[in-house]
Amino acid sequence: MALWSGRFTESVSDFAQRFGASLPVDRQLYRQDIAGSKAHARMLGAQGIIPAADVQAIVEGLDRIERSIDAGEFVFDINDEDIHMAIEKQLIADIGEAGARLHTGRSRNDQVVTDTRLFAKERCRQLMEANLQLRRTLVQQARQNMDVLLPGYTHLQHAQPVFLAHHLLAYAHMFARDFKRLAQAYDSADVCPLGSAALAGTTYPLDRRAVAADLGFSSITANSLDAVSDRDFLLDLSYAASVSCVHLSRLAEEVVLWSTTEFGYITLSDAFSTGSSIMPQKKNPDFAELIRGKTGRVVGDLVALLVTLKSLPLAYNKDLQEDKEGAIDAARTLEDCYRCMEGMIATMQVNADAMGASVQKGFLAATDVADYLVKRGLPFRRAHEAAGHLVKLCEQRGCNLDELDLADFKAENDLFEEDIIAACDLAAIADARLTEGGTGRAAIRDQLALVEKAVQSDGSFCESLSR
């Protein structure tokens, strides 16, 4: 019979036991469960609720159980229902009556959410570290490719010339925002619910703040009903993971495109490519494609949790057992995607010549041709039309704007002078974008300084969480 079986006359059916068991999922939280139980026992002893000898026996017994699980020697039984029951049953078997006193003043309702919050904090910290490593790699590639020019796109059509460093730093900024979301998810989880018991608190004189401090929480929950039913912190983690996976998927899509024969902008390392079972020449960007695909899983994990929570009355309901699997999966998947993307970016070969050849196509100087006329007093709409006429002329001749003669320009508008040819130089056009955040190399250097400062600050934050 289960540890809670006092008012029951028969056991749950085998099928119902398997259906209701959370042990296959929450056994991953055994370290958090043991840490919470030790902190709870120490507090019970300090408050004089259980004898000091029992505290010592409980802590030592839990240490032995943790070592047994670490070593793979612990035998999990599906009949134990969850990790809490599995550990408590073994503790009672090991140390007797002292183990039976451990659950004084607590419920599995506040116990499980404490475990889950501890897990969420640790996974957020690990994800922030993986996020930082990817950002460092993007910065490194940006510094190495300051002079590489490529087409900037809108609607996947050639738009204006940009430097590759500028393009890579755009993703560094996306992932910096993701870091902030993960930090917010950490803060959301950093509240201790232990001592809320089943839903209403307890009559025992618990020192909730001592337990919170022992476990490294910064504060305690303010309402016991909310404490046992709140899973917003998992929503925050799942949302942060979903947004970051969307950003990774966008970068993965560009990796896929850029590595095609049609683009040829990059060559992926063999370590992050696969071949074909039938076509010997193939080098497939499978891992970038997997990142795109896994994004759907992570977004699905978020949606599943939202739907689970959407109509639950207070306080605890068994539906909440479904909270952990998706969040665990989302965190693990995001970390794997971070590591995979970081490896691809770190080892890819940038084909500057291919990017340079591509930037010569698509009349990327057209906006600057229009701006040339605007700076000489022509209204922008008329200048835009004139530049469009010149593009049409180039299409008819099969040439680019910088291959037109001065006479061709003057035939369109007398405001053009000899310097219009030099004004069509694409590197100069990109370099002239010196507004804050622009693609000019001077502006890029300022962006690099900002990104590197943020990486350093975020790295210090992660180190503080590890202490």
In DSSP terms, 163 is beta-bridged to: 149
Residues 6+ apart with CB under 8 A from 310: none
Among 247, 165, 225, 136, which Cα is nearest to 433's? 165
What are the structure tokens assigned to 364, written together?
Answer: 């990327």
* Catalytic status, residue 384: no
Which among 219, 276, 389, 457 is annotated as catalytic? 276
* Catalytic status, residue 155: yes
Among 295, 164, 172, which Cα is nearest to 242's? 295
HEC sequence for the chain: CCCCHHHCCCCCCHHHHHHHCCHHHHHHHHHHHHHHHHHHHHHHHHCCCCCHHHHHHHHHHHHHHHHHHHCCCCCCCHHHCCHHHHHHHHHHHHHCHHHHCCCCCCCHHHHHHHHHHHHHHHHHHHHHHHHHHHHHHHHHHHHHCCCCEEEEEECCEEEEEEEHHHHHHHHHHHHHHHHHHHHHHHHHHCEECCCCCCCCCCCCCCCHHHHHHHHCCCEECCCHHHHHHCCHHHHHHHHHHHHHHHHHHHHHHHHHHHCCCCCCCEECCHHHCECCCCCCCCCECHHHHHHHHHHHHHHHHHHHHHHHHCCCCCCCCHHHHHHHHHHHHHHHHHHHHHHHHHHHHHHCEECHHHHHHHHCCCCCCHHHHHHHHHCCCCCHHHHHHHHHHHHHHHHHHCCCHHHCCHHHHHHHCCCCCCCHHHHCCHHHHHHCCCCCCCCCHHHHHHHHHHHHHHHHHHHHHHHHHHC
Among 57, 62, 61, which Cα is nearest to 45's? 57
Catalytic residue numbers read 155, 276
